[in-house]
Amino acid sequence: MGEIRLMKGNEVLAEAAIRCGADGYFGYPITPQSEVMETLMARMPWNETGMVVLQAESEVASINMVYGGAATGKKVMTSSSSPGISLMAEGISYIAGAELPCLVVNVQRGGPGLGTIQPSQADYLQAVKGGGHGDYKLIVLAPSSVQEMNDFVDLGFELAFKYRNPAMILTDGAIGQMMEKVELADFKPRWTKEEIKEKWGSWATTGKPDSRNQNVITSLEMDSDKMESNNQRLQDKYRKMEEEECRYEAIMCDDAEYIFVAYGTSSRVCQKSVEIAREKGLKVGLLRPITLFPFPSKIIGKLACKAKGFLSVEMSAGQMIEDIKLSVYDAGCIARVEHFGRMGGIIPSPGEVVNALEQKFL
Amino acid sequence: MAKVRGAVVVDKEGCKGCGICVDACPQDVLALNKDVNSRGYHYSYMENPDACIGCSNCGVVCPDTCITIYRVKI
Amino acid sequence: MDIKDIIKPENLVYDKSKVQIDTIMHYCPGCSHGVVHKILSELIEEMDIQEKTIGIAPVGCAVFAYNYIDIDWQEAAHGRAPAVATGVVRLNPDKFVFAYQGDGDLASIGAAEILHACNRGENLLVVFINNATYGMTGGQMAPTTLNGMVTSTTPGGRNIDLNGYPMKITELIAQLPGTSYVTRQAVHTAGAVRKCKRSLKKGIQNVLDKKGTSFVEVVSTCSSGWKMTPVDANNWMAENMIPYYPLGDMKDSVKGGPVSEN
């Protein structure tokens, strides 16, 4: 049993980064995630593990510092909130194109524009469809508790290095600011120079010895045939992620006629909504995608064959609903898919969600 | 005073005929050839080889690093 | 004496560095990039630092620098090389890291990144090629384009009222306490190339000695962009660019130290 503490989601991100042996964090302040860098600066991990923490001049600079560090085979991360993630979109596209591993955390707030500092899930499409220019995907993890904020830092790095691809923790201001009990992971040592050379020496820019050819990190290729094959290699990687990395939680779905599909904060609300609905005699379940990309399409397709309808519950105007509809369509089923959500930083209440289900389906 | 003789070897195919070496040569050794290389450039060559003192100026200014220089005291 | 008696291995005095990759560069005839690549390759070989060098390439004509210098390279997004280099050097303080940037990359889109990297005194060398134009995209106006200079986006010449002033960003950078060595050089004559090489060597040594940011501007030509022959471009540069961007050291101090008088 690891050390148990009561912590904020944002604080846990910082603690988990130190404990999982991260080499560097580069960030820029933005509400509601500023506690991530504040916690790191207070913890001073450079004394303990040698982890580097640097406040950059902008989100644009942060993500490019991540690019530079990641390209040397180091475990590097950044965190921000919605407007800052938009600024990072260029850098994330380059990181995906150059096939570098890194971890990006988006503690979402409401948009568009400056929007609000209150929680939101309106960056779903930006996160799961890539977000910047070009055909690329991120591995997107959606924690629904402070415990998962802890667990997904290590998991995010593991998947990022496994696929040489940026991973994103897509959370929101509610989970970032919420305090819960968390069991912290044990400390893992940072990789040594020798370990990095052994694990990632085939691509990492660690300085060219006589014994190997130069390593070049780039997303550029002027030959269209080669560029197409580079793109194809990325697409093959994304298909492999879809085969091997789908994660979800199904709650009371076995006999369910109606299924809420919700992730993160809204999935916490929906847990209660399932209880309320069940008390009313409605056969309702909850499917909680844990990976938003790869999206758990297969299980939704399977459930669509016996359920009557899905209600996508999101703190947005309805974004994930598109992926649910595609999953149902791909399965060749005719289950109805509806959306219920609140915007502007409002978290729906469990009762509201049940009312919406009744209005739309019954 | 020891007399110095030099010689330059221009990589004919690497030369883009920019002429900067011709301009940089204090002895008027180099010129651009009337012939062109396979890429269509009037490559640099020693038009007046006996005047070369091996000062290396041509090699130093060459943007395409296609000049090798030799020097001998006689 | 027959020429064959001179061209012998024992008489070799100048040859291509082993660190320079044996290929024909994509640069136009007469391009200053080629000269700077050459002297960087020579220095990396002479100072025996190939194994600890990591270069950051820009967006611009030098985007393919990694095809010419045989070291590990990272290709940065437009203007972001100083931030990328910061990430590398902060996590790998034992490496020699340099960012190679053009004027559009460094002084326009990447102005924030270069100023802040220099202000933090990141332990790296910045090589700044200032040819007063966007060469790769076809000769558009750059922040450093001279007043009245014709480019494809200033067909009537740069107009101060419309476009503002040619930016002396190296002078700005010399004011930042994070920099230790700030200089402006050129590569249009053999003497200038030799001086520029000495400056770059000093910049590299400063980084090896962990003295903070060293910054070497190289006033350069773009004969294609300027629509001149390479020799005419060199002469035009000497007559027009260098008076506005005078050569010489602006600062040779230590991190946190004062700006010198010259």
What digits encode the pLDDT tens for the residues B1-27? 568 999 999 999 999 999 999 999 999
Q: Please name the amino acid found at residue C148.
A: G
What is the DSSP annotation of A162-180? HHTSEEEEEEEHHHHH-EE
CA distance C207 to chain A (A): 15
Which residues of chain A are under the pLDDT cut of 70?
none
- Fold of the CATH domain A4-183: Rossmann fold (3.40.50)
SS3 for C208? helix
Q: What letters, b where the CB count within 10 A reaches 16 and e where it falls short, cover C133-142?
A: bbbbeebbbb
- Average pLDDT score over residue span C8-23: 97
Per-residue pLDDT of C147-177, as tens digits, reads 999 999 999 999 999 999 999 999 999 999 9
Determine A/C contact with 3+ CB pairs under 8 A as the test.
yes
- Kindly report the nearest CA distance between residue C197 and chain A, in angstroms: 22
C17 Cα to chain B: minimum distance (Å): 9
Query: Can you point out the beta strands (E) in A216-308?
Result: 216-217, 248-251, 258-261, 284-289, 291-293
Q: Do C92 and A57 touch (CB under 8 A)?
A: no
Instruction: Report the sign of the C-alpha dihedral through residues B63, B68, B73, C4, in that order.
Output: negative
Residue C253 has pLDDT above 90, yes or no: no
Confidence band (pLDDT; 50, 70, 90) for C258? low
Binned at pLDDT 50, 70 and 90, residue B59 comes out as very high
Q: How far is CA A241 from each of CA A125, A149, A298, B39, rounded to the nearest angstrom?
A: 18, 21, 13, 47
Say yes or no: A206 contacts chain C, CB-CB below 8 A: yes
Indicate whether C106 pLDDT > 50. Answer: yes
State the ipTM, two decimals: 0.96
Calculate the CA A144 to chain-centre distance.
11
The residue type found at A4 is I
Q: In 3-state terms, what secondary structure has residue A41?
A: helix
Query: For the CA atoms of C249, C254, C260, C262, what is the dihedral angle to 10 degrees?
Result: -10
C88 shares contact with chain A (CB less than 8 Å): yes
Q: What percent of chain C has pLDDT over 90?
A: 95
Res. C144: pLDDT tops 70: yes
Amino acid, single-letter form, for residue A249: E
Contact (CB<8Å) C1/B72? yes
Domains of chain C, first to last: 23-252 (3.40.50.970)
Give the pLDDT score at C259: 57
User: CA torsion, points C197, C198, C200, C206, in degrees to nearest 10?
Assistant: 160
Closest approach of chain B CAs to the CA of C11, in angstroms? 5
Q: A6-43: buried (b, 16+ CB within 10 Å) or exposed (e) per residue?
A: ebbbbbbbbbbbbbbbbbbbbbbebebbbbbbebbeeb
pLDDT per residue over A102-134, tens digit each?
999 999 999 999 999 999 999 999 999 999 999
Q: Do C72 and A66 touch (CB under 8 A)?
A: no
Question: What are A216-253's pLDDT values in tens digits?
Answer: 999 999 999 999 999 999 999 999 999 999 999 999 99
What is the rounded average pLDDT for all residues in chain A?
97
Q: Which residue of B has its CA nearest to C26?
A: B64
Chain A contact present for C86, CB below 8 A: yes
Res C1: pLDDT: 81
CATH topology of domain A248-361: Rossmann fold (3.40.50)
Per-residue model confidence as pLDDT tens digits over A302-313: 999 999 999 999
8 Å CB contact of C66 and A61: no
Q: What is the pLDDT of residue C156?
A: 97
Contact A205 C83 (CB under 8 A): no
H or E element in which residue A5 lies: strand A4-8
Q: Chain C neighbours among A 234-293 (CB < 8 Å)?
A: none
Residue A142: strand, helix, or coil? coil
User: Which pLDDT belongs to residue C261?
Assistant: 44
Out of C54, C83, C91, closest to residue A61 by CB: C83
Q: Please give the structure tokens belonging to residue A108.
A: 């979402």
> Strand B30-32 relative to strand B44-46: parallel, antiparallel, unpaired?
antiparallel
pLDDT at C260: 52
- Judging contacts by C-beta atoms under 8 Å, the chain B residues touching residue C229 are 19
Residue A344 gets which letter from DSSP? T
* Distance set, CA C202 to CA B30, C207, C208, C211 (Å): 33, 9, 10, 11
Q: How many residues in chain B? A: 74
pTM (2 decimals)? 0.97
Residue extents of the structural domains in chain A: 4-183, 248-361
Name every chain B residue with its beta carbon within 8 A of the beta carbon of C34: 62-65
**DSSP per-residue codes, A185-205:** PPP-PPPPHHHHHHHHTTT--
Nearest CB neighbour to C71, from listed A65, A94, A208: A208
Query: What domains does chain B contain, in order, with CATH numbers?
Result: 4-73 (3.30.70.20)
